[in-house]
């Protein structure tokens, strides 16, 4: 185990030339990011999860009831042991041959069996009320963390001059604000990871699980490597659009279609301008060119920038999907939020698998970072 840890924490991979981990130990004069700092995120993630339960029960739910959001889930399929066994052990989407076999076995017509499977699949989807409460919780958190990020970053020199992200790197002291920002973001995504096993299981469970794992890994990577300054810029940039998308979801669940359309339009404009404009000009310019000029490349520098470039490619692809979806909807005379996977990610029956996968892959690389 000691050999594996020594290999993993190899200074020649993680740090610039002639810098060692010993150089980044905390002193009386300065505090630097330490891997063990992140242990605090685990108990804090549990606290956030408990806060979420209280928030959804005593704040989000009354708001949903006030908006007259449906409290009942989808219609339940009538109990049938044979069909239930097929559904749980064999397939949730039986083909024509299997449907005909079941029709003869049960003396039911094929259309009735198809209806049963459709109702049974819908049973596994959370109710509109549950989805609204979840979106309201995420909206509240994203609004808070984005507001905090803006208030904190506007006082920092690297917001106005990104070269400050690299001056004196990696000997940049860890401030209380950066530590709090990182720990809170990491704790939130750990809580999302935990809640996947307690929430109603969704069809994108595995993809979202990988997304949360990757997001957590990237946050940890940038913190341990003390690229926290540029990391705060990336997190704040990505949190901005998350606020609007969760607000659009809530409007959709409340059946406020005009508001939903307006919020989606705002989200699309903000997403495309920030991910195709601000991100490459502001973030990639400093991580690729300014950092090369000031500190030069080293192994983890290449990995970090490779991930950011892949993120840019996914930004471009998702922006194309947003524009394509909006143009198609406008040509038909209306823009309906429920058909967009990023508005209602649990309603993916009407959306190609490739679209759902690529949406998740965008989130996969995002620091959301």
Percentage of residues of the chain with pLDDT beyond 90:
50
**What CATH superfamily classification does 81-124 receive?**
Homeodomain-like (1.10.10.60)
pLDDT in tens, 221-243: 899 999 999 999 999 998 999 99
Report, in this order, helix, strand and coil percent for the chain, each rounded to 5: 75, 0, 25
pLDDT in tens, 154-196: 999 999 999 999 999 999 999 999 999 999 999 999 999 988 8
Measured at the CA of 305, the angle between CA 300 and CA 306, to 5 degrees, comes to: 95
Q: Name the pLDDT band for 356 (thresholds 50, 70, 90).
A: very low
pLDDT in tens, 319-353: 888 888 788 877 775 544 444 444 444 433 333 33
CA atoms within 13 A on the CB side of 326: 18
Largest CA distance in the chain: 81
Q: Name the pLDDT band for 358 (thresholds 50, 70, 90).
A: very low
How is the chain split into domains, by residue range?
30-67+127-334+354-366, 81-124
The pTM score is 0.80
pLDDT in tens, 265-279: 999 999 999 999 999
Q: How far is CA 297 from the centre of its chain?
A: 29
Q: How far is CA 168 from the centre of its chain?
A: 32
Contacts of 122 (CB under 8 A, 6+ apart): 74, 75
- H/E element, 173: none
Least confident of 18-27, 40-49, 65-74: 65-74
Per-residue confidence (pLDDT) for residue 226, from 0 to 100: 93
């Amino acid at each position: 185990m000691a050999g594996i840890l020594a290999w993993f924490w190899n200074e020649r991979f993680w740090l610039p030339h002639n810098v060692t981990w010993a150089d980044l130990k905390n002193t009386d004069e300065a505090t630097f990011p330490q891997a063990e700092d992140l242990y605090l995120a685990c108990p804090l993630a549990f606290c956030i999860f408990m806060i979420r339960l209280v928030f959804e029960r005593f704040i989000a739910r009354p708001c949903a009831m006030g908006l007259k959001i449906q409290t009942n889930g989808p219609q339940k399929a009538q109990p049938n042991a044979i069909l239930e066994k097929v559904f749980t052990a064999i397939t949730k989407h039986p083909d024509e041959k299997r449907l005909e076999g079941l029709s003869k076995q049960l003396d039911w017509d094929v259309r009735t069996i198809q209806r049963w499977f459709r109702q049974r699949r819908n049973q596994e989807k959370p109710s509109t009320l549950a989805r609204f409460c979840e979106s309201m919780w995420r909206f509240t958190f994203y609004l808070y963390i984005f507001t905090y990020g803006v208030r904190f970053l506007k006082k920092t020199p690297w917001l106005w001059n990104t070269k400050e992200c690299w001056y004196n790197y990696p000997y940049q002291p860890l401030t209380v604000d950066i530590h709090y920002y990182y720990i809170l973001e990491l704790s939130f995504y750990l809580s999302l990871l935990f809640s996947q096993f307690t929430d109603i299981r969704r069809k994108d469970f595995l993809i979202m699980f990988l997304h949360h794992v990757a997001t957590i890994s990237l946050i940890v990577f940038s913190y341990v490597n003390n690229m926290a300054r540029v990391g705060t810029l990336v997190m704040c940039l990505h949190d901005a659009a998350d606020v609007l998308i969760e607000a659009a979801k809530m409007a959709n669940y409340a059946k406020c279609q005009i508001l939903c359309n307006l919020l989606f339009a705002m989200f699309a404009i903000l997403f495309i301008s920030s991910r195709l404009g601000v991100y490459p000009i502001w973030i990639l310019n400093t991580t690729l060119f300014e950092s090369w000029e000031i500190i030069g490349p080293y192994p983890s520098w290449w990995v970090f920038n490779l991930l950011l470039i892949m993120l840019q490619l996914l930004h471009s692809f998702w922006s194309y999907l947003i524009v394509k979806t909006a143009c198609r909807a406008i040509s038909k005379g209306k823009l309906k939020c429920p058909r967009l996977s990023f508005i209602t990610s649990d309603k993916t029956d009407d959306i190609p698998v490739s679209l759902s996968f690529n949406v998740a892959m965008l989130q996969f690389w995002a620091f959301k970072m």
